Chains A and B, each alone.
Chain A
């Protein structure tokens, strides 16, 4: 429309990263810190995918009957998508480990406020 789609999604990604860093550093509750960390991961993945976008292009699946040159010219760049698949899974597993540690800490210390537990 008015703004290029790729540029707008880059802005959204950077906005998500900034919201995530703000939440992870400044909020007090441990669970909200971890929610912020999940948003940082989402923002970086969106940034990677919008690197591969091609305006007016087609999806990178080669169906029989397409000319090879036309496909190579018009398809979106497939390399970032492989990276994002791995990165989503890595993000989900680190979230799981962190939430597990928080549950154990609650049983031992009885609080999930960051200033009481991590403040030392």
Chain B
């Protein structure tokens, strides 16, 4: 039993509770927050791979002293291998995901301390709780535990939006919670149907029951469960029909908060997508549903981004579009395709966080985020403009940055799987992404400054520059040496495609 696996969820919760109590002392909050946030990317690097059973209750197969006394009615059947406790499984792919989540969270928390005039303990509390919840969603092997932490992540997102003082944030938060309180109970209903048919909430045991004929896989109740769980998944990750409310959430949060919220969306998408593939991949149409939803997300997201005038909403819609690429990778169901999709997820989290931080500098300096009113920022801070330009190139897939490698793998995977039309659509949408980004970049940085634009704060906080440099550096490393990331993701992809998990 490796205790560090459980600590990866417990440590952020404890940090959150502790930071909530520090109110008035500015310097103390800043120093303590940064020290605690350093633990977030460090813990996954230190933990060993393996399974963790809460309470120490291993399955009877691994516990010979207990199972020797039980009648063969229990030990001779499948009950011997069932997991009685909540299980967290930590393998190489989860290590990469939790590390990237921790890195983006560290940088977002670091930037948020210098964004407003006084650092707020409550804001740090919300961010740490969100990180704890999404870490648990990535690690868990128990589907009800997933639902509990899914709800906590939704509440933390709403909290991050409520803390920012942007006009209209209360209305957006209320709309998001009302939609969430319809979608999340429907997810629980799907979990209840799965429990009713198979009698288990542990995902490994559910898959064992389905594959070895303990329950009938073609039961229509299972189809309904699949539909309801997919509906809850669409809400949690911000795919259509929830893409407008998700991009509104991004636009009403402070830039560091928006960077963190979109990382939550990407990793909830990946974790729930992997679980749906594991349980329901035997259904003939599940692959087509995932492909269809992702295609819709790509097309709707990127085309709606062209029409936006608010900077953060535009990046929000672009982020939804990039989620579609990940879904296509998952939906191809070959080992190469799934590796490409997961690699795209890792890249996407970092690139969109970088874009939010970059355009957040503009917001910090002028207080305006409408592209029609901005202009001429290139003269003020050429370094930030260069970094934002590189981030935009990265999102569109220009070599030698990381999204080029993952999009190339996706296009190759779709051709190998016999669907070259998807490759063509992906290339077209990358071109549209590039065009949209260059339009916004020209409007903000290149054209002459309008007369009525006033600069509120001249100096940019150094924290933002450091954060953006770190993220760009990691993007370059993944772009030049993609084997670093794909070697972590390969084992999971192979076992998913082989259908053994």
Contacts and interface: CB of A to CB of B under 8 A. Distances in A.
Interface of A: 17, 21, 24-25, 30, 33-34, 37, 40-41, 43-44, 47-48, 51, 77, 79-80, 83, 86-87, 90-91, 93-94, 97-98, 101-102, 104-105, 108, 117-118, 120
A117 B195 CA distance: 40
A101 B177 contact: yes
15 contacts: A17-B189, A24-B182, A30-B174, A44-B188, A44-B192, A48-B192, A48-B195, A80-B195, A83-B144, A94-B177, A101-B162, A105-B170, A105-B171, A118-B171, A118-B174
A43 B148 CA distance: 18
Contact of B189 (A34, A44, A91): A44
Interface string B122-161: 0000000000000000000000100010010001001000
B173 interface: yes
Given A94-B180, A98-B177, 5 more contacts: A41-B181, A77-B199, A83-B195, A101-B173, A117-B171
A77 B195 CA distance: 11
Interface of B: 144, 148, 151, 155, 158, 162, 170-171, 173-175, 177-178, 180-182, 185-186, 188-189, 192, 195-196, 199, 201
Given A37-B182, A101-B177, A79 B195 contact: yes
A98 B174 contact: yes
A114 to B, nearest CB: 9
B53 to A, nearest CB: 17
Contacts of A105: 170-171, 174
Given A51-B192, A87-B188, A94-B151, A40 B181 contact: yes
A90 B151 contact: yes
A23 B178 CA distance: 12
B213 to A, nearest CB: 21
A97 B162 CA distance: 11
Contacts of B173: 101
Nearest to A98: B177
Contacts of A118: 171, 174-175
A104 to B, nearest CB: 6
Contacts of A77: 199
A98 B181 contact: yes
B177 A97 contact: yes
Contacts of B181: 24, 37, 40-41, 94, 98
B70 to A, nearest CB: 10
Centre residue among B151, B170, B178 by max chain A CB count within 10 A: B178
Contact of A79 (B155, B158, B201): B201
Contacts of B177: 94, 97-98, 101
A79 B148 CA distance: 15
A21 B196 CA distance: 23
A117 B174 CA distance: 10
A100 B55 CA distance: 37
A61 to B, nearest CB: 19
Contacts of A104: 170
Nearest to B192: A48
A21 B185 CA distance: 11
